[in-house]
Amino acid sequence: QMAGRSIEAAADALTLHQHVLYHQSKLYPGLEKVLDAISLASKIISGKVRTMGLSGVVGKTGEKNVQGEEVNILDELSNTVMIKRILDSGEVCAVVTEEEEEFATPSTDLPGRRGYVVSIDPLDGSSNIDCNVPIGTIFGIFPRTSAGDGKGTLADCLQPGRNLIGAGYVIYGPSTMMVYASAEGTFGFTLDPSVGDYLLTHRNMMIPNVCKNFSVNEGNTAYFYPGDLALVAWLKEEDKETSRPLGARYVGSLISDFHRNLLYGGLFFYPHDKKSKKTPNGKLRLLYECAPVSYIAKMSGGKGSTGAMDVLDVVPTDIHQRVPIYVGNKDWVERAESFVRGDYV
């Protein structure tokens, strides 16, 4: 019986490429090549992450990125590899990445349709890299809006999450997994290093109808607005009917917190707070963190909100724009909205 199962699995576990080819390439020609590029770059990153103490990628470059954050060697490598592979696919007209002030565009003498835009956080959770806590790559894929097949424009990059045609993340955890969501639903693929490919292991992922944990950095409560303070207190009260108090889980790596909540149910939030004038709208970025995870949540039966509106309806005015985010079980996100709506002028 076991043998049969393992033979069957080896024979028919779809690869990520096949999944995209079968489900999306009629509507979105060449999209599978975009996923191939992200997938290849993520395998290179996975290899470095798994041997980081040996592969000389631990530590800092000594530079600061556009966010004013110190850049880790692995951040820079991940960014360089992702941009190059994605633009070389010939299917992408612009890449928005956390590590670059401006969006990157391809040389137009490459064959290809350049019909898509990719927003990407090549390696999210950098503060966790050196201490071996899971980190991740987060990405969103939009259709280009400008005419022709040349380099993309700023307008191509400033699209609301509502326009996403696919979004996903790679979690470099005990296993390396790619979770990819599209109109088809949310599917999980596990990297088999002996094969060197992502094989389907989780079909039609849906957030369970239970909310096990809340996930927020309570070290910031001194700077919270009243609504968020009331929300945190409410989540901790005992109330059997609404299965409170919830557990508390906070890894500090968005993809780890989000992935756990996708599988077990949970409410993650990073509110805007009074901590820093520099980031009045919270810490997480719309285009390559909040919109992709809100899209994945939506495709998995959940929701992402800024507290005042659906994250997917926010039209960016800047490619590095930050928004507050409450994401996870739809009913719990809506409860959170009722607490914090009052804080929005």
Given the complex with ligand P6P, which of 104 and 284 has the nearer CB atom?
284
Given the complex with ligand P6P, which of 181 and 254 has the nearer CB atom?
254
Residues 91-130 that bind ligand P6P (CB under 6 A): 124-127
Are 341 and 228 within 8 A, CB to CB?
A: no
Q: How far is the CB of 128 from ligand P6P (least distance, A)?
A: 7
| Interacting residue with ligand P6P among 39, 65, 79, 253 (CB under 6 A) | 253
The answer to whether residue 213 forms part of the interface with ligand P6P (CB under 6 A) is no
| Interacting residue with ligand P6P among 217, 243, 279, 338 (CB under 6 A) | 217
Residues 27-66 that bind ligand P6P (CB under 6 A): none
Number of residues this chain uses to bind ligand P6P (CB under 6 A): 9
Q: How far is the CB of 26 from ligand P6P (least distance, A)?
A: 35
The answer to whether residue 294 forms part of the interface with ligand P6P (CB under 6 A) is no
The answer to whether residue 254 forms part of the interface with ligand P6P (CB under 6 A) is yes
Given the complex with ligand P6P, which of 136 and 265 has the nearer CB atom?
136
Given the complex with ligand P6P, which of 156 and 289 has the nearer CB atom?
289
The answer to whether residue 252 forms part of the interface with ligand P6P (CB under 6 A) is yes
Residues 8-27 that bind ligand P6P (CB under 6 A): none
Q: How far is the CB of 288 from ligand P6P (least distance, A)?
A: 10
Secondary structure in 3-state letters for the chain? CHHHHHHHHHHHCCEHHHHHHHHHCCCCCCHHHHHHHHHHHHHHHHHHHHCCCCCCCCCEEEEECCCCCEEEHHHHHHHHHHHHHHHHCCCEEEEEECCCCCCECCCCCCCCCCCEEEEEEEEECHHHCCCCCCEEEEEEEEECCCCCCCCCCHHHHCCCHHHCCEEEEEEECCCEEEEEEECCEEEEEEEECCCCEEEEEECCCCCCCCCCEEECCHHHHHHCCHHHHHHHHHHHCCEHHHCECCEECCCCCHHHHHHHHHHHCEEEEECCCCCCCCCCCCCCEHHHHHHHHHHHHHHCCEEEECCCCEHHHCCCCCCCCECCEEEEEHHHHHHHHHHHHHHCC
Part in contact with ligand P6P (CB under 6 A); list of ranges 199-207, 232-240, 249-257, 333-341: 249-257
Q: Would you give the binding string for ligand P6P spanning residues 273-292, x where CB under 6 A is met?
A: ----------x---------
Binding site for ligand P6P (CB under 6 A): 124-127, 217, 252-254, 283
